[in-house]
Structure 1
Amino acid sequence: MGLRRRRIVRSIIIGVFSVLLAFLLLAPPAWLFISSIADLKDLLRIPLRWIPENPSFSRYAGILFGQGPESEFRKIMVNSLYVATFVTVICVALGVLAAYAFSRLRFPGKDRVLFVLLFSYMLPPIAVIIPLYQMFSNLKMLDTKEALILVYSAILVPFVIWMMRTYFDTIPRDLEDAAKIDGCTHLQTLFRVILPLSLPGIVATLLFAFLMSWEEFFIALILTSTPQAKTIPVAIAEFSGRHSIDFGMMATGGILASLPPVLIALFFQKYIIGGLLSGAVKG
């Protein structure tokens, strides 16, 4: 009886803890969504109300289908998608090839070059933003999406190299030796043998590169100034003005900005977890 009672108590404790944890995780996005459909009167009411009196999706309609000032956010969403997509393609294309070279080839100074790459990735953006601003100003590339693509790619390629090199190290070399015996070159071995086996790691790296460029704020804030090149994080921050804060539009922008990461996590979690675990454990 004592053992059964302890099991019941343990189950109750685990259940209560799980409910509290779920509340802590779900309450912020739930309140963000509620704020996006509530009017200003409900948002400023004390005490706060979880269920607004007059819920409305007008902010979403204005952003997605309207022609007023809110429609600029729609264009900015396209900017973010454009930048993140190009950055992902560039980083994966260059990073995978470089990672394979670091994993399989022997050349002088390989470890030093890899250290320099990782060091450049660890540099805080604030340490390099002034030279970057001056460089793009001289090149007449300020306030362009191409400038963001170049900067993000330069930052994320070392990350992709590090991730994929660790993953390539887990693949047995015997498979490559067998392919070379059959007459494959290094590139043929990479594309016909290594890349198919590395698909989970490639997908995980691709998704991380996309998300990192999607949510970057500081560099986009400094290098862009108009809706022609701004990205979502900058646009959301601008809903907070010097004298007023548009809580409703800020919440709506936050919900729309969070959709791609949430969808990616839902549909590609198997690849993300599998890629990270496979790249973290050798053998």
Structure 2
Amino acid sequence: MSVLTPSRRYSVFVHVMAIAVCVVILAPFGWLLIASIANDNDLLAVPLHWIPQHPTFDRYVQIFTAQGDNVFAGFRSSFFNSLIVATSTVLISTTVGVFGAYAFARLRFRGRRAVLMFFLSTYMVPPIALVIPMYLVMVQLHLLDTVFGLIVVYSSFATPFVLWIMGNYFQSIPFELEEAARIDGCSRMGALFRVILPLARPGLLAMMLFAFLIAWDEFLYALIFTSTAASKTIPVAISEFTGRYTTNFGLQAAGGVLAALPPVIIAAIFQRQIVGGLSGGAVKG
């Protein structure tokens, strides 16, 4: 009988642990998918039916086809609201944050570090502490219960994050490359768009995904600043599947599956660039 070498045993151990970790991480998502297609009897059965005896896709059909004033049509509206809010937040925070990060990374001016720390200090304040002042500001600007109001709020939180991440990433790019472009006739903006941003593409994509998630998953401000289906987002819509006396677990599961799809699809498409961006920032210096 053959005996495994130490390197072979280590390889087997790593693969077994990787499979175990994947099972632990993916099991809740697997159950979410199962619960979304199981009927109410299977969900409440004792003992629990891990494989639905009567699977149904009626919840998904109703979410995409229902008309009128009901939870299904409301969820569909909230889904598109979340797409608009998250996409707009990414565009605004990326545009503002990239220029700001480039200034902090390449320009030297008095108070540069203090200004950057001031922006980052917004993450040190508990979100609940900002609710009342932000609510009063939203009232004065007539932005309550509007998609644009949520975009403004989320952009104010995502932009400092972009400043920090991209500022560090720009510093990891050799300054000599930019100098060479400037010598060849590029302006500072030309060097940014033709040299720096193409090199920073992995970090840029990783940062955009995180900025998207900041707006996509946020619940507290969306709950307080919105009140109608015209502006509610997915987290708020899913929370409303829980009634005063009952909870529609199957509908919550279906909503959770649909809510998870956009981030998962984006991460799957740009997987290599995102991993490269995260590792590139990790080995900076």
TM-score (norm 2): 0.93
Task: Please list, as runs of the form range in 1=range in 2, the aligned pairs for 1:171-250 lying within 5 A after superposition.
Answer: 171-250=173-252
AA in 1 matched with 2:67: Q
**CA offsets, 1:208-264, max 9 Å, x none?**
111221111111111111111010011111111221101011000000000011112
Alignment partner of 1:48 is 2:61: no
- 1:267 Cα shift? 1.3
AA in 2 matched with 1:155: F
Unaligned runs of at least 5 residues, structure 1: none
**CA offsets, 1:139-196, max 9 Å, x none?**
2211111111001000110000100000100111111211222232211211121111
Task: Please list, as runs of the form range in 1=range in 2, the aligned pairs for 1:102-121 lying within 5 A after superposition.
Answer: 102-121=104-123
AA in 2 matched with 1:40: D
SS in 2 for 1:242: coil
Conserved 8 A contact 2:209-2:267: no
Partner Cα separation in structure 1 for residue 126 and residue 10 of structure 2: 45
**Identity in percent:** 51
What does residue 30 of structure 1 align with?
30
AA in 1 matched with 2:181: A
**CA offsets, 1:44-92, max 9 Å, x none?**
1111111112111000000012225212211110000000010000010
- 1:12 Cα shift? 6.4
Q: Summarize the Cα distance change of 1:149–1:17 in structure 2 as closer, same or farther, 3 Å threshold.
A: same
Task: Please list, as runs of the form range in 1=range in 2, the aligned pairs for 1:61-76 lying within 5 A after superposition.
Answer: 61-68=61-68, 69=70, 70-76=72-78
Superposed CA RMSD in Å reads 1.9
AA in 1 matched with 2:58: S
What does residue 20 of structure 2 align with?
20
Conserved 8 A contact 2:96-2:159: yes
AA in 1 matched with 2:35: S
AA in 2 matched with 1:260: P
Q: Summarize the Cα distance change of 1:115–1:38 in structure 2 as closer, same or farther, 3 Å threshold.
A: same
Partner Cα separation in structure 1 for residue 242 and residue 256 of structure 2: 13
What does residue 85 of structure 1 align with?
87
AA in 2 matched with 1:58: D
SS in 2 for 1:4: coil
Task: Please list, as runs of the form range in 1=range in 2, the aligned pairs for 1:150-169 lying within 5 A after superposition.
Answer: 150-169=152-171
Partner Cα separation in structure 1 for residue 146 and residue 218 of structure 2: 15
SS in 2 for 1:225: coil
- 1:13 Cα shift? 5.3
Conserved 8 A contact 1:121-1:156: no
Partner Cα separation in structure 1 for residue 12 and residue 204 of structure 2: 42
AA in 2 matched with 1:53: Q
Task: Please list, as runs of the form range in 1=range in 2, the aligned pairs for 1:247-262 lying within 5 A after superposition.
Answer: 247-262=249-264
Task: Report how many aligned residue pairs link the two structures.
Answer: 283
Partner Cα separation in structure 1 for residue 100 and residue 13 of structure 2: 50
Partner Cα separation in structure 2 for residue 167 and residue 22 of structure 1: 30
What does residue 277 of structure 2 align with?
275
SS in 2 for 1:210: helix
Partner Cα separation in structure 1 for residue 264 and residue 51 of structure 2: 24
Out of 20-29 and 162-171, give the one that drifted further. Answer: 20-29
Conserved 8 A contact 1:38-1:54: yes
- 1:38 Cα shift? 1.1
- 1:41 Cα shift? 1.2
Q: Summarize the Cα distance change of 1:30–1:112 in structure 2 as closer, same or farther, 3 Å threshold.
A: same
Conserved 8 A contact 1:215-1:233: yes
Q: Summarize the Cα distance change of 1:185–1:19 in structure 2 as closer, same or farther, 3 Å threshold.
A: closer
Conserved 8 A contact 1:167-1:280: no
